[in-house]
């Protein structure tokens, strides 16, 4: 009886862990004829949200545009969503116009639920992972990875047997990675100036 109850609970937890509001294909796609110049022109005409613009990744310096749009085949129509489009990448096989992810506003102000690709085979991005983007101010977007799913940890101790369990520790804050605004200039400068 108790096994059936545990099975039902685990099944429900896995189902809830799999539900995600954002949809992203398994592999990236390329929007044709995208350049930083064309994206600036497009954003001048259509920009409505503070997150829309051209940003630089703090991880590798890639330039991306955050622009209103939905992934192909998406059923999401109730609220706005934004595509993260690569304009310039330090990885030579990634073409301008490659869509790296999709974001949608969350209930918390200036916070976005995001799915981004985390693997690169040299040309195509894959393995979507969930992140949270938070606008610290109008020039900084922080990115925090979301860990979801069920985690089961088994431990045991037998009488008179001591064991040592090693765990890893990382003191680096989770929200140091993200994007710095390049265009349009809003708020304080995103890069420190010399005194």
Q: What is the pLDDT of residue 12?
A: 40
Q: What is the pLDDT of residue 109?
A: 93
Range 27-55 average pLDDT: 94
Q: Distance between CA atoms of 95 and 125, rounded to whole angstroms? A: 11
Instruction: Please tell me what DSSP assigns to residue 99.
Output: E
> What are the boundaries of each domain within the chain?
19-148+174-183
Spacing of C-alpha 96 from chain mean position: 18
Q: What is the pLDDT of residue 4?
A: 54
Q: What is the pLDDT of residue 151?
A: 65
Element (H, E) at 133: strand 125-137
Tens-place pLDDT, residues 18-36: 445 678 999 999 999 999 9
Widest distance between CA atoms in the chain = 73
Asked if pLDDT for residue 13 goes beyond 80, the answer is no
Tens-place pLDDT, residues 139-184: 999 999 998 777 665 555 555 554 556 667 778 887 889 999 999 9
Tens-place pLDDT, residues 77-125: 546 899 999 999 999 899 999 999 999 999 999 999 999 999 999 999 9
Q: Pick from 137, 86, 73, 145: which is nearest to 115 by CA?
A: 145
Cβ-Cβ contacts under 8 Å for 63 (sequence gap 6 or more): 36, 54, 55, 56, 57, 86, 87, 88, 89, 182
């Amino acid at each position: 009886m108790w096994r059936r109850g545990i099975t039902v609970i685990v099944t429900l937890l896995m189902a809830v862990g799999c539900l995600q509001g954002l949809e992203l294909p398994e592999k990236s796609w390329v929007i044709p004829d995208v350049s930083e110049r064309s994206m600036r022109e497009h954003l001048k005409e259509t920009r409505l949200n503070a997150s829309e613009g051209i940003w630089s990744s703090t991880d590798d310096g890639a330039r991306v545009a955050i622009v209103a749009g939905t992934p192909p085949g998406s059923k999401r129509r109730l609220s706005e969503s934004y595509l993260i489009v690569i304009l310039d990448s330090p990885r030579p096989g990634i073409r301008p116009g490659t869509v790296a992810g999709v974001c949608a506003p969350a209930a918390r102000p200036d916070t976005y639920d995001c799915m981004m690709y985390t693997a690169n085979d040299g040309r195509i991005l894959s393995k979507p992972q969930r992140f949270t983007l938070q606008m610290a101010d109008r020039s900084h977007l922080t990115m925090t990875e979301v860990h979801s799913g069920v985690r089961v940890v088994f431990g045991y101790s037998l009488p008179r047997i001591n064991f040592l369990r090693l765990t890893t520790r990382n003191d680096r804050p989770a929200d140091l990675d993200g994007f710095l605004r390049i265009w349009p200039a809003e708020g304080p400068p995103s890069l420190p100036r010399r005194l």
